Amino acid sequence: MSFKSGFVTIIGNPNVGKSSLFNEILNFDLSVVTHKSQTTRDSIKGILTTANFQIVLSDTPGHVESSYLLHDKMNKNIYSSLEGSDLILYITDVKEKNINQNLIDAVIKLEIPIFYIVNKSDLDINYRLLNNDLFLDSFLISTKNKKDINNMINKIAQKLPAHPAFYSKDVLTDKNERFINSEIVRGEIFKSFTQEVPYSTHVEINSFKNDEKLLRIEGYIYVETESQKSILLGKKGKKIREISKNSRHIIEKMYNKQVYINFTIKVLKWRNDQKFIFSKY
């Protein structure tokens, strides 16, 4: 059998488990997963290489109607990930009533085959997979109890073109270490706060020094208002220290060395700031 390799993009509405599936296929926690909607902002590629195939998988933000410049840019990120894909994984979950027809139509226009994937089969909700001509194949899965994921990965690989690997086999992602680590911090902020603070936060690493014994990470956390800044700081800086500590533990495990983290909080109405959005998203 010849080696197969191709580009596969995960799309769908917010919060259906796209990033969970992405991480599950890669067997590595690369993309941020939280119980909140609109967690993913950037498209990110993860690469799964086996002896027989290489899947270059893209996770994308959940598709939302735009109310900020940030959302416009998130939607553009989705559509630009579609182009050049060999296969699309459209994800929904057992709770969702309607598919996102705009997204599906965009894929059909590009004549890219679609797998229809219904996630969260572990939930006690009756769901019957529909046979639909729009989709090449369909799967009922659960990333939580790992049901039917391997079967689906093999079916994905079968549909890829015969092609040599695009990336060398030890490459896991197209993103750099600054991005991966800033996402860990952003994930901790999402876990620590309800409501608006996570959505108003942008994390940026501007100094990343990986020495033999110590990894030093410094950067900025942007929020939009002074009151969000004081919520993020917490009483006497308790909250931000806790977020830094939790992030540090995750990063120390990943690099297996001591990590120093320091973030300064800045206030800027960044989500509608054209220059900011276009330079950073």
Ligand X SMILES: Nc1nc2c(ncn2[C@@H]2O[C@H](COP(=O)(O)OP(=O)(O)OP(=O)(O)O)[C@@H](O)[C@H]2O)c(=O)[nH]1
Q: Which residues bind ligand X (CB under 6 A)?
A: 14-20, 33-35, 37-40, 61-62, 119-120, 122-123, 142-144
- Residue 88 CB, nearest approach to ligand X (Å): 15
Q: Which of 5, 9, 19, 92 binds Mg ion (CB under 5 A)?
A: 19
Q: Which is nearer to Mg ion, 12 or 53 (CB)?
A: 12
The residues, ordered by sequence, that sit 6+ positions from 148 with a Cβ below 8 Å of its Cβ are 121, 139, 140, 141, 142
Residues 29-58 within binding reach of Mg ion (CB under 5 A):
39-40
- Residue 193 CB, nearest approach to ligand X (Å): 15
Residue 137 interacting entry, from Mg ion, ligand X, none, C-beta within 5 to 8 Å by type = none
Q: Which is nearer to ligand X, 146 or 245 (CB)?
A: 146
Residue 144 interacting entry, from Mg ion, ligand X, none, C-beta within 5 to 8 Å by type = ligand X
Residue 219's closest CA among 165, 171, 261, 161?
261
Residue 143 interacting entry, from ligand X, Mg ion, none, C-beta within 5 to 8 Å by type = ligand X
Q: Which is nearer to ligand X, 35 or 109 (CB)?
A: 35
Q: Which is nearer to ligand X, 5 or 13 (CB)?
A: 13
Residue 120 interacting entry, from Mg ion, ligand X, none, C-beta within 5 to 8 Å by type = ligand X
Stretch that binds Mg ion, among 10-18, 46-54, 133-141, 210-218 (CB under 5 A): 10-18
Residue 54 interacting entry, from ligand X, Mg ion, none, C-beta within 5 to 8 Å by type = none
Q: Which is nearer to ligand X, 35 or 253 (CB)?
A: 35
Residues 208-237 within binding reach of Mg ion (CB under 5 A):
none
- Residue 141 CB, nearest approach to ligand X (Å): 7
Residue 238: what are its φ and ψ, rounded to 5°? -65, -45
Q: Which is nearer to ligand X, 126 or 256 (CB)?
A: 126
Residue 19's closest CA among 49, 58, 54, 50?
58
Residue 225 interacting entry, from Mg ion, ligand X, none, C-beta within 5 to 8 Å by type = none
